Structure 1
Amino acid sequence: MLKKSHFTAVALLLSVMLLSACSRQGIYETAIGFERASAGLEADNITVGDLEIAYLRNAEANNGDTIVLVHGFGANKDNWTRIARELTDSFNVYAIDLPGHGESSKPLDLGYRFEEQVAHLAGILEALGINEMHMMGNSMGGGITALYTATHPEQIKSAVLFDPAGILDYENEMVGMVLAGDNPLIPGKPGDFDRLMDFALEKRPFVPWPILGVMEEKAIANQEVNQVIFAAIKEVGFTPDFRNAIERIESPVLIVWGKEDRILDYRNGAVFQKAIPGSQLEILEGIGHAPMIEAPEESARLFLEFAKPFISKAD
């Protein structure tokens, strides 16, 4: 949820823009810029091979550790601004648009299986000069974070998995919907994005209608690449390879799951905990698929308490 002062500032900003007859796109860009600035972040991009990669980073660097944030399927770097607001004073935060997402390149033939996305992310972080970090991931990004942690143990100081994909011992209503040909995660027509937000989030944050409309247009425009990515990742929860890989994890791992998650059942959290040596599990009552959006302050607090022994002291 937005803090009252932040909510008031956003509402005032939107009122002024509506009165000045700004376009929906202009309102969207201004509001997103305000969210980023309020979180102490600014947008940047980097070329990695043939890919253009967009990301957010601290507007002002500090002497703290680095945190890399990895969004979920069909999402983007701006899913992290609310939790980043709790972190950028003490950490250097990087929220990456993975290939195929957000403002990054979206080649259909890149390869989007989990292990391929880990390789893409490793290349991006190498290009950014990041070789040691805390990493957080949500949903697909949680699965990528877990696999990255298993693959590059020397780089990960701690990892947080928010409702991670990769294990489907317990299924819920979304599996049946996908099998029936109705995937709520891939908007294809007007109204689908609003449905997605209601389905994914138990505590839906305030998003003014002009911004929601632009977000829906972007999601519908990405339908083709989203279908390609979903086809590449949808089987991972039914195969043993992922589970076998994360059993090798050596870094400290915190698993945070919203109990009301309708996309990935929270009971899979205990399975993750059993698979990852020494990991800890927190189940959040009244929260859905994206704790870092629905409960950013609580999510940040859980990370800070868990990672305290592994955070470098600033000079």
Structure 2
Amino acid sequence: MKHERQQAQARWGNATRHKGSDLPYFKTNTGSQIYYEHHGRQGPAVLLLHGLASSSRSWRKLSRALQGDYQVYALDFPGHGQSDRWEQYTFYGLSELIKVFMRACGIPKATLVGVSLSCSVALLFAIRYPHKVSGLILAGPLGGYLPAGNPFSWPDRLVFKILPIALQLSVFLLGHHATAYWLNTFGVKRKRTFKSLESIQSQVDMKAVRQLLWQSANSPYVGHLQAVRVNVLIILGQQDPMPRRFVRYIQTHLPHVRLIEIPDSRHLIAMEKPTEFNRLVLDFLSQTLKKQPAASF
């Protein structure tokens, strides 16, 4: 863990916004270009983190709901959407990327909204840089929490190791469309949402999917959640097929947390129930954001 942290800090020490392009992106000191969207001109900052095999496009409805009162930022993680690919993907690398992104955009502090595996990135960032976080909203968080030596950890390790292999094999044998179809049945109930999901999922580096899923067998925040001192809202679909014990672990170990379940919804709540999800996000922001001293970089 310490080695991963040092690698991330060495690789992404600085970044600058690039102004010579029609597309909004910032460039890291290694030359990687990271695409992002910025909506709203005033108010506290809200940073939207998309899930695995997704992109900033998945947050369009929430961005529209927030931009009147908040400055909304949504970036494409490396290997997703319009951002460059990396050779190696780690949760520590992504948390460091958020730090340099906030520095490049002049964001001293933000509320982070994560979904699925990006909840791990949000939690890790809050643990590493607590002075830069105003609050956390976690939609359908998942990830193993038992150490590798624990005999009960093998189901999680087996699932997170085999799943990316199964996905790549399915794409090879059945094609992208058929693979996206069966995969999205876990995320949403309504088939009318499948088309928009599939278009987002076509812009992904399968290496990112494979490496991040492998690391999720033992999530990077395990053993450190007590360090998260801000208010946390967990939003869960009542019919989410993912194991509830992942959420229970996070809920049990966070000092200030509230769990709300949305009926008739599965894993990707923000896309399946945008009206309900957006209302919960707005309520959380209005209730928890207060004037706080600016963070120093």
CA shift at 1:243, angstroms? 1.5
* Matching of residue 54 in structure 1 with residue 58 in structure 2: no
Two-structure CA RMSD over aligned residues (Å)? 3.0
Cα distance change, pair 186–249 in 1 and its aligned pair in 2 (3 A): farther
Q: Which amino acid is 1:290 matched to?
A: L
The equivalent of 1:305 in structure 2 is 283
The equivalent of 1:19 in structure 2 is none
- 119, 128, 132: which one aligns with 1:142: 119
The equivalent of 2:188 in structure 1 is 201
Gaps of 5+ in 2: 1-21, 147-152, 292-297
Q: Which amino acid is 1:287 matched to?
A: S
Identity between Structure 1 and Structure 2 (%) = 21
CA shift at 1:205, angstroms? 4.4
TM-score, L = length of structure 2: 0.76
* Matching of residue 162 in structure 1 with residue 139 in structure 2: yes
Deviation per CA, 1:61-114, whole angstroms, max 9, x where unpaired? 12x11100001111100010122222111111111101111100112x2x3221
1:207-222 matches, within 5 Å, as: 215=200, 218-219=202-203, 222=204
Deviation per CA, 1:126-179, whole angstroms, max 9, x where unpaired? 11111211110111211111111111111111110111233367979x939936
* C-alpha distance in 1 between matches for 2:57 and 2:91: 21
Cα distance change, pair 244–207 in 1 and its aligned pair in 2 (3 A): closer
CA shift at 1:312, angstroms? 4.3
Cα distance change, pair 204–157 in 1 and its aligned pair in 2 (3 A): farther
Cα distance change, pair 125–176 in 1 and its aligned pair in 2 (3 A): closer
The answer as to whether partners of 2:143 and 2:219 remain within 8 angstroms in 1 is no
1:148-297 matches, within 5 Å, as: 148-167=125-144, 175=159, 178=162, 181-183=165-167, 187-188=171-172, 189-190=175-176, 191-206=178-193, 215=200, 218-219=202-203, 222=204, 225-226=205-206, 228-239=207-218, 241-262=220-241, 264-297=242-275
* C-alpha distance in 2 between matches for 1:231 and 1:213: 18
Cα distance change, pair 154–214 in 1 and its aligned pair in 2 (3 A): closer
Q: SS in structure 1 opposite 2:74? A: strand
Q: Which amino acid is 2:210 matched to?
A: A
TM-score, L = length of structure 1: 0.72
1:37-186 matches, within 5 Å, as: 44-49=24-29, 50-58=31-39, 60-62=40-42, 64-107=43-86, 109=87, 111-167=88-144, 175=159, 178=162, 181-183=165-167
The equivalent of 1:3 in structure 2 is none
Q: Which amino acid is 2:209 matched to?
A: F
The equivalent of 1:7 in structure 2 is none
The equivalent of 2:13 in structure 1 is none
* C-alpha distance in 1 between matches for 2:215 and 2:164: 19
Count of equivalent residues: 258
The answer as to whether partners of 2:193 and 2:271 remain within 8 angstroms in 1 is no
* C-alpha distance in 2 between matches for 1:163 and 1:180: 19
